[in-house]
Structure 1
């Protein structure tokens, strides 16, 4: 599903122009593709943010530009790291029925068997799908999965109309044995030894005292 957004053609460029656009609660954007010159537009900030949230990583917007309509697939979104508002958006122009290549997230659901650790080895897969029917995500269940269970890309069930492009043998989810505290400490000691890090007795004594100290109390250090 695409969401309709009214866009205005942009004639001013540069950092100063972009700042003025953002002060008006709008977003500068560019639409590329289909052999045409890039279309520079300005979008309403609030409506665009909502459309991106609804559509996910591959949101499809129906941009109304000077009385005509252009389907635009979201390719890159720049967000201010502090204020969290939209800084700039790159779109690719698409047509209805056109096949596009996109990366979609893998969503792991369910609880594996006890004493297991579920590791997501690859959080996204690449698929080919119609521009107007791009899956928001693909779901994989690990409910009751035992130690040693491995789920590969070929095991994923894709929505109708989507074709897997990722190597079918790609490991997506790996269910392993949950490590004990003793095992983690042993691995840490091995890694420190390989790195040439030596612990002196005072460090070990401090750690031992901290382990034995009652809850809420810290071991004193000299």
Structure 2
């Protein structure tokens, strides 16, 4: 699916003009890249959010700036700390030969045998840094934990050959493991009271 994002070139960078853009439902942005001059633009907020959710953070946009089209990915964006709304976007221009590095989320799939035996599945890594052609970027990296037993781990080295892209991590970095079953804590029911005069009777006169 082609994600076409219509943008308008902007010329002024004053705080007032940027605030005005945001108040009118737009997001200031910059389009830059190899063999591409830095172009200040703005995009419609609702349109961007809708398409961004559909294609994912590593998806490719076709940005139409006043009729001129350029493929680009979202390289970075700034979020307002109070409203949590996106207030600025950096678009990196790409083409079919572009090779980029970005983080891809890890998704553990299937039920681990070790969990069925009472173990606890622990995920240690949630993203992998990946380098590949821009058109081959996955939305997520699925890691199958079906045969993972109690005390075993899945490391980067065990999955590296399963994927057609470069994973920028050491082989011994742990992605997931099965911990032994948790031991229930023994709860003390109280200490045996030493013989003698009960505290509530001390000092009482007959």
TM-score using structure 1 length: 0.74
Is 1:152 the counterpart of 2:155? The answer is yes
- Distance of 1:152 and 1:51 partners within structure 2: 34
**Which one has the largest radius of gyration?**
2
Q: How far does residue 68 in structure 1 lie from its aligned partner after superposition?
A: 1.6
Contact 2:98 2:134 in 1 (8 A): yes
- Give 1:158 shift: 7.3
Deviation for aligned residue 1:45 = 0.8
Whether the 8 Å contact between 1:130 and 1:161 is mirrored in structure 2 is no
Q: Residues 138 and 156 of structure 1 are in contact (CA less than 8 Å); yes or no, is this contact kept in structure 2?
A: no
The residue aligned with 2:182 is: 179
State whether residues 2 and 132 of structure 1, in contact with CA within 8 Å, keep that contact through their aligned partners in structure 2: no
RMSD: 2.7
Q: Hey, what does 2:53 align to over in structure 1?
A: 53
1:135 is aligned to 138
Contact between 2:36 and 2:93, CA under 8 Å: does it hold in 1? no
| CA distance 1:74–1:178, shift in 2 (3 Å) | farther
Query: Residue 219 of structure 1 corresponds to which residue in structure 2?
Result: none
Matches within 5 A, 1:1-150: 2-34=2-34, 36-112=36-112, 113-114=115-116, 115-143=118-146, 145-150=148-153
Corresponding residue SS for 1:54:
helix
Q: Unpaired runs of 5+ in structure 1? A: 186-203, 209-222
Greater share of helix: 1
How many angstroms apart in 1 are the aligned matches of 2:162 and 2:14? Answer: 42
- Mapped contact 1:5–1:62 kept (Cα < 8 A): yes
SS of 2:54 mapped into structure 1: helix
Give secondary structure in 2 for the equivalent of 1:38.
strand
Q: Distance in 2 between matches of 1:174 and 1:66?
A: 52
Give matches, 1:158-177, under 5 Å.
161-177=164-180
Task: Give the Cα–Cα distance (whole angstroms) in 2 for the partners of residues 8 and 120 of structure 1.
Answer: 43
Q: Output the TM-score relative to the length of structure 2.
A: 0.79
> How many Å apart are 1:66 and its aligned residue?
2.7
| Distance 1:119-1:14 versus aligned 2 partners, 3 A rule | farther
| Post-superposition offset of 1:36 | 4.0
CA distances 1:14-60 after superposition (whole Å, capped 9, x unpaired): 33222211111111111222154321110011110012111222232
Give the paired residue count. Answer: 187
